[in-house]
Amino acid sequence: MNSATLYRHRWLMIRLPVALVAAALAGLAWIWLYPMPDARLTISSGQPDGAYRLFADRYAQAFARHGIALTIETSNGSQQNLERLRHSPAQADLAFVQGGFGWSSQPGQPDRFDGVQTLASVDIEGLWLFSRDPALTSLAALAGLHVAAGPQGSGHRVLFQRLLSQQRIGLDEIRWSPLSGAAARDALVRHDVDAVFMVASSQAPGVRALLATPGVHLAMLQRTAALSERNGFLETRLLPQDGLGQNLPAADTPLLTTPTHLLAREDLNPALQRMATAVAMEVHGQAGPFHRAGDFPNLRRSDFPASAQARQVLGGGLNRLERVLPFWWAQVVQRLLVICVPLLLVAGLLFLFIPALLRVRLESRMTRWYGELRFIEHDLAHHNVDIGGIELSRINTRLRKMEAAIATMPLPKELAQRWHTLLQHVDFVRRRLRSYRGR
């Protein structure tokens, strides 16, 4: 197919294919390279009456304001939450996990962290040990007692058993109860258990209930500094008198604490990681009994690999589009800017460049014929050719071939004037040749 035909049908043969290819590339990039994030998330929280569930409920409200639906799945605790994130296929997108399940306590097991990232440390959990009279001062005093420490595999029991082993207390010396939260408090009041151990935020209903129950005492463990030195995820903090309310607790109490991590699947869409981090900043920015306002969320004591998206949000907040627009619209605009605008620019350049190139080729062909005519005129004017019959016949043959090529060339309307002028020029040269006959 020649250049003239392509140029005449440039909308159908050039610009339409370019537009279709650009649209196909944009669709493929949108779907495969930069897919839209899902507007639904699943978070694995904890037991129904725990602080993790309270956090998850607040997250659901915050996500809903951004147009994202959050499904909350209860669990036995941190260990099950971590397993849900690492399960293939993943059973949760986000999860709360207490300190002690990552680098700080299990070096040499990097496979445990595959596929999981920290979005932020969001809170401080206390290691709460409650008993009836008298108040406990050491873990050794628990030998032979009936202790409620949550179900098997829960974060409460895993951490408690680790501490007992470090104190050389056999796990078979403890009679275990799977109760936790309000059920454990009721069992302690009824004397069905002798002590209750839990790892929970100070906001957990079970903690508040036990602190407010008459006859129930919060243990004042000795040698907590040694425990925190041995376990990098633990830190001794002072819970001040009345720090949680009137007479809660009744005296200043040293308490072992561990951070709470908000974790996400490593392959979770980056936009959802950023939004989850922003939601964590909304929910956990207030002061607590162990920290000042603004201390959380942070990545200072990350127990798992930190998300690059989370670092970006914690350092400078969401990007401008995500701050101004609803979440879904912000993602659409980002893809329009990243995918569609460059492709539109390239397609627009091709829209202009390819027809322009074809026109230049057509014009250069006509210019070449003009040049040939000028050579003939120059030779005739300066008598550079023999004006005998043979030479005139040769020139006439050249003019006939040129005229035939010009006449059969399907030029576009834009070049019709030049085409007509060129034919007139050929005819002018032919008439001039006739004037040489008979000389």
Tens digits of residue pLDDT in 62-75 = 999 999 999 999 99
Asked, for residue 331, whether it belongs to a domain, the answer is no
Asked, for residue 381, whether it belongs to a domain, the answer is yes
Task: Answer yes or no: do 221 and 90 share one domain.
Answer: yes
pLDDT in tens, 109-120: 545 567 899 999
In angstroms, the CA 251 to CA 200 distance is: 20
pLDDT at 112: 56
Which one, of 158, 208, 160, lies nearest residue 182 by Cα? 208
Q: CA 240: distance to chain centroid?
A: 40
pLDDT at 109: 52
More confident residue, 359 or 106: 359
CB-based contacts of 303, cutoff 8 Å, min separation 6: 97, 99, 100, 101, 102, 103, 104, 118, 121, 233, 259, 261
- Tally of structural domains, the chain: 2
More confident residue, 262 or 250: 262
Task: Answer yes or no: do 7 and 63 share one domain.
Answer: no
pLDDT above 90 for 4: no
Confidence of residue 347 (pLDDT cuts 50, 70, 90): very high
Task: Answer yes or no: do 187 and 241 share one domain.
Answer: yes
Task: Answer yes or no: do 138 and 261 share one domain.
Answer: yes
Helix-then-strand count for the chain, H and E: 16, 10
H helix intervals, 103-254 = 155-166, 181-189, 205-212, 224-230
pLDDT at 265: 94
Which of 128-137, 204-213, 221-230, 424-433 shows the lowest per-residue confidence on average (mean pLDDT)? 424-433
Please list the residues that pair with 161 across neighbouring strands: none
More confident residue, 49 or 130: 130
Confidence of residue 394 (pLDDT cuts 50, 70, 90): confident
Task: Answer yes or no: do 125 and 77 share one domain.
Answer: yes
Task: Answer yes or no: do 82 and 45 share one domain.
Answer: yes
Task: Answer yes or no: do 134 and 283 share one domain.
Answer: yes
Question: Beta strands 253-265 and 94-98: pairing type?
Answer: antiparallel
Asked, for residue 351, whether it belongs to a domain, the answer is yes
Helix H or strand E encompassing 402: helix 389-408
Which one, of 199, 262, 207, lies nearest residue 59 by Cα? 262
Task: Answer yes or no: do 119 and 58 share one domain.
Answer: yes
pLDDT at 108: 44
Q: Which amino acid is at 349?
A: L
Average pLDDT over residues 36-55: 89
Task: Answer yes or no: do 367 and 239 share one domain.
Answer: no
pLDDT above 70 for 210: yes
Secondary structure in 3-state letters for 21-83: HHHHHHHHHHHHHCCCCCCEEEEECCCCCCHHHHHHHHHHHHHHHCCCEEEEECCCCHHHHHH
In angstroms, the CA 109 to CA 102 distance is: 9
H helix intervals, 237-340 = 270-284, 308-316, 320-324, 327-335
Single pTM value for the model: 0.76
pLDDT at 410: 66
Domain limits for position 280: 40-318
pLDDT at 272: 95
